[in-house]
Chain A
Amino acid sequence: MRYVIIGNSIASAGCIEGIRKEDVGGEIVVISDEPYHIYSRPLISYWLSRKVTDIYYRSMDYYEKYRVTPILGKRVIKVDFEAKDVILETNELVHYDKLLIATGGKPFVPNTPGAGKQNVFTFIKFDDVKGIDKAIFEGANVIVIGAGLSGLKAVEALLMRKCNVTVVELAGRILGSILDEEGAAIIQNALEEKGVRFFLENSVSEILGEEKVNKVRLKSSDMIPADVVIFAIGVIPNVDIFKDTPLKINRGILVNEKMETSIPNVYSAGDVAEAFDMLIGDNRVIPILPNAYIQGEIAGLNMTGRETIYKGSFPMNSIGFFDIHIMSAGLVNPPQGIEVLRRFQPDKRIYRKVYLKDGKILGFMFINSIDRTGMIVDFMKNNIDVSSFKESLLSDNFGFLDLPREFRKEKLLGV
């Protein structure tokens, strides 16, 4: 049996580890266009800020230990699903019995004039931060385009490296994927105190300079000096090599509850896959790290023949900027007719908001009050009716004591 995995990130590790739970003898081949040992993409901002010096996701003997043959630094140009061959840019063929497509996401870059100049970067891969690391200096003017999760992690790292940071965002607020307006304002305010300048409801219409960027022109006609520009607008599923193939793709590659694609023996997982979202009751790309691992692991188990079902997920994030931390999950902007529980303590920047419908939690966002949040995520997953203790969900020290005795016993003792 030969398992082939396209991609060398979190979903790939999940798949390798899932396969090895059941099949110790089968051959595993991992292919990636990046030349690096398996690393963790969320760590790139920590590397840029110099909080960490290595970003590897698994130990250096990982491939050896899991008996994986890595083919790194070679791009896959095509998959022949009929012949079951993966075709590399070198024209080598890698035959598979079972294939996992874990090609992840790629940065969305608009066709802004001047985007091809030197010192214009994206913010997703190790090479991106290696380039940024060389281009920045103390006092450098850096423009970050996009005020989402990765954009603002870039901002934090750049501030730690003593750059002057300006954020340009198309929407009227920051962090639109994880916070409502009120929550976003708290974070924006905290970052402004650190010296970040925000241009909201705006965009970069042109990147100017000779070979290197030296300023940008905004849609509002403002001109801002710029030594470095970083596009962090968003990530889209990396499906380019599968266009014009029979593989069923919506936004991402469609998979069923076994992580199988529309083509036999071909599976997909992670940021490229469009799997079940239990909150909306439909398939959706949810590009978060835990999903990538879990989906990869389930794909791996199914590839060995051990039937394992993916129950679905929903968006959830834990992210911090300096001493402020955010956790959020599920719905961010509630539809009409939903119950909203809210607590805001401006002096400590503590914010807790929970959305309920028929006693079930549809979403929450917590700022600076995050302990034991996993319990609440667990209630969402298991569709628990929280009506009888809902007010306690707003408290900083929410815990099992707040639950009805029988429910607590069941949770804690499994009886």
Chain B
Amino acid sequence: MELKTKKRIYAKEDVCIGCHLCEIYCILAHSGTKDLIKAFNRVNRPSPRVLVEEKEGYSITFALQCRHCDDPLCTKACITSAMHRDEKTGYIICDEEKCVGCWSCILVCPYGAIIRDENKKVASKCDLCIESGSPICVENCPNEALELRELEEDSK
């Protein structure tokens, strides 16, 4: 049977202060260095895989990451199989080596959670910090506006 992750990151829009630290830590976690300044100065630094929604005229902000759907559309729309479910963790992962940037995943993701990495021209998305095992955006949110939850077996 297919292993699916039940981990989801949720944002609390009432307490998000719009500081964008989640984006900065996300870049750090996926830059291959532990040094924030080095990560930021890299020529081909990765795009953040978390998206902060904010707009002029709105008082609220919040961050959004991939929901790692039980029945994902992105993997089914992918023309290369770059977008896939990792067998060991059940996370939805994009293999950037295989991605050709057709953006079919962006066309079908109901959360708008897949990001175009402008440098690498590949689909970029939250991998729940698969390498460390603990999402760095949640760990570093200064106002605890991000929360990692483990869903019940049968919930969405």
Give chain A's interface residues, CB within 8 Å of chain B.
14, 21, 40, 42-43, 46, 51-52, 57-58, 289-290, 293-294, 297, 316-320, 325, 327, 329, 370-375, 377-378, 397, 399-402, 411-414
Contacts and interface: CB of A to CB of B under 8 A. Distances in A.
A312 to B, nearest CB: 14
B58 A401 contact: yes
Given A397-B55, A400-B64, A318 B103 contact: yes
A289 B111 contact: no
Given A40-B79, A397-B55, A399-B53, A319 B102 contact: yes
A387 to B, nearest CB: 20
B76 A375 contact: no
Contacts of B64: 399-400, 412
Nearest to B108: A374
A264 B51 CA distance: 48
Interface residues of B, number: 36
Nearest to A316: B107
14 contacts: A40-B81, A43-B80, A289-B79, A293-B76, A294-B76, A316-B108, A325-B103, A371-B116, A372-B112, A374-B114, A375-B109, A399-B51, A399-B53, A401-B58
Interface of B: 1-2, 10-11, 51, 53-55, 58, 60, 62, 64, 73, 76-77, 79-81, 100-112, 114-116, 155-156
Nearest to A14: B76
Contacts of B110: 374-375, 377-378, 411
Determine which residue in A294, A401, A414 has the highest number of CB atoms from chain B within 10 A of its CB, and name it: A401
Shortest Cβ-Cβ A-B pairs, 3 listed: A372-B112, A378-B110, A374-B109
A371 B106 contact: yes
A273 to B, nearest CB: 16
Contacts of B54: 401
Contacts of A51: 100
Contacts of B106: 318, 327, 370-374
B143 to A, nearest CB: 18
Nearest to B110: A378
Given A43-B100, A57-B81, A399-B51, 20 more contacts: A42-B79, A46-B100, A289-B79, A316-B108, A317-B107, A318-B104, A318-B107, A320-B101, A325-B103, A327-B106, A371-B116, A374-B73, A374-B105, A374-B106, A374-B107, A374-B111, A401-B58, A401-B60, A411-B110, A414-B156
A330 B55 CA distance: 29
Nearest to A327: B107
A293 B80 CA distance: 13
Given A58-B81, A372-B112, A397-B55, A412 B11 contact: yes
B61 to A, nearest CB: 8
Contacts of A52: 80, 100
A318 to B, nearest CB: 4
Contacts of B77: 289-290, 293
Contacts of A289: 77, 79, 104
A340 B58 CA distance: 26
A34 to B, nearest CB: 18
Nearest to B1: A21
Contacts of B80: 40, 43, 52, 57
A374 B112 contact: yes
Given A21-B2, A57-B80, A293-B76, A320 B103 contact: yes
Contacts of A397: 55
Contacts of B103: 318, 320, 325, 327, 370
A46 B102 CA distance: 10
Interface centre among B54, B64, B80, by most chain A C-beta atoms within 10 angstroms, is: B80
Among B62, B73, B76, B116, find the residue whose CB has the most chain A CB atoms closer than 10 A: B76
Contacts of A329: 107
Contacts of A325: 103
